[in-house]
Structure 1
């Protein structure tokens, strides 16, 4: 049995659990065997990143904006001219 915050949902599914347990017991009594196999990987790894760097891409990057203090200083210099 599993733990759930929704006990009514667990109780609603009880008939299915009992049915599966009964059919499993019948299968094993008839000589059936259960094999435990390794589980498949959960998520495939993404493809490796390319090591190629395009020089054009580096040139297209935006420059960081001028800080507010520098903009004020530039305005004062422009007004003084």
Structure 2
């Protein structure tokens, strides 16, 4: 079976060889490669601020009229 990914590997071969050469030069110059602990997969999000900007506070919708208020409003409109 022919893999489509083989051409991708060969296309990136010069870049990989260049990186390998740079690593070899770094090690030859006395550099050291340290294996560090991997970072967490899902970093903890920053804490939310407890400060609320007054301009961003949402305006609440006014309550709907009750049945009694609607009847009173209708009577006032008829009286006019």
TM-score, scaled relative to structure 2: 0.48
TM-score, scaled relative to structure 1: 0.48
